[in-house]
Amino acid sequence: MASTVTHIPDSALNSSCFLACFKIYPPRPGSLPLIEEMLRSSYPSSYAPINLRPDYHSDNVFVARFDSSDEGRVFDAAPHIFRGGLVPVKRYVQDNSPSDYDFHVSPFWIRIYDLPLDCLTAQVAGIIASALGTNARGASDEEAVSMFARVRVDIDVSNPLEESLRLRLPNGEEITARIMYERLPNYCNYCGLVGHLDDMCSGPDDGGRSAKRYRRLFPYCRRHLRSRMTPVTMMMMMNGRRRRRTAFQGVLEHFKRFIGHS
């Protein structure tokens, strides 16, 4: 047993790099090598995978080392999206196990519409965002004075995404503000949860009320994110258009027959 203790000063530690944890949400077998390749191509001079305890890889979590110069890029670029799936990133903590990280919480930039002009401030956006999540970080007042307020907030994606919020103004008037998410991974139109598409939803059937609710929000997001749509989502959209075209043709033929008989 060693009788002396050797002190290691802070100056001897590697301060030019940092460690980050990533996880696929929800877990997808076989995706870790592909995500590692994506990060390697995004940060060619900085990224380096690190093999840690087996419990990390068994829980679909991996750790990577980056140069400190890329710290802002790694965290500010969140939410990271890989093949439609959410890839949350957290700062690595030495003694943490995979279950100690809140991988179900991820930052999103959101837009808040239908606000009075005097409410288009970073402070109001932060107050509204605090009702949606935590660590709200609003844009500056110069950026916020527009048709909408803009704020970045950490949202728990294990809960359905909100489409709107009821607000009470200082004069007592109540209004409804619409919420739009600038970047979204795969989500479900029926239950509003991130992590699966409509055809994989196992939620309870409520007669289509959930689908009707979320269709008011997410088609607008799809127009904003058309380049990020997955092939499955694109196929579902095309099938919907095809069904509407067929229904319209049927109505048109019925109308022609009606005119002909009269």
- 122 pLDDT band (50/70/90 cuts)? confident
β-sheet bridge partners, residue 179:
112
Mean pLDDT computed over every residue of the chain? 73
SS3 labels along the chain:
CCCCCCCCCHHHCCCCEEEEEEECECCCCCCHHHHHHHHHHHCCCCCEEECCCHHHHHCCEEEEEEEHHHHHHHHHCCCEEECCEEECEEECCCCCCHHHCCCCEEEEEEEEECCCHHHCCHHHHHHHHCCCCEEEEECCHHHHCCCCEEEEEEEECCCCCCCEEEEECCCCCEEEEEEEECCCCCECCCCCCECCCHHHCCCCCCCCHHHHHHHCCHHHHHHHCHHHCCHHHHHHHHHHHHHHHHHHHHHHHHHHHHHHHC
The second-level CATH assignment, the architecture, of 15-100 is 2-Layer Sandwich (3.30)
Count CA within 13 A, CB hemisphere, residue 62. 19
Q: Which residues contact 135 (CB under 8 A, 6 or more apart)?
A: 107, 153, 154
Amino acid sitting at position 159: N
What proportion of the chain, given as a percentage, has pLDDT over 90?
A: 6
How much is the pLDDT for 137?
Answer: 74
Q: Would you state the structure tokens that stand for residue 180, as one six-digit string?
A: 């739009």
Average pLDDT in the 66-81 region?
A: 83
- 11 pLDDT band (50/70/90 cuts)? low
- 150 pLDDT band (50/70/90 cuts)? confident
pLDDT tens-digit readout, 22-33: 887 766 766 777
How much is the pLDDT for 125?
Answer: 82
- Of the listed ranges 48-52, 137-141, 202-206, 225-229, the least confidently predicted one is 225-229
Looking at per-residue pLDDT, the higher value among 181 and 1 belongs to: 181
Average pLDDT in the 183-192 region?
A: 81
| Cα–Cα distance measured from residue 185 to residue 228, given in angstroms and rounded to the nearest whole number | 9
Number of other CB atoms surrounding residue 213 within 10 Å:
16
Looking at per-residue pLDDT, the higher value among 59 and 220 belongs to: 59
Average pLDDT in the 159-168 region?
A: 88
- 173 pLDDT band (50/70/90 cuts)? very high
Q: Could you check whether the bond before residue 79 is cis, i.e. omega within 30 degrees of 0?
A: yes
Angle, CA 110 vertex, CA 108 and CA 116 arms, to 5°: 160
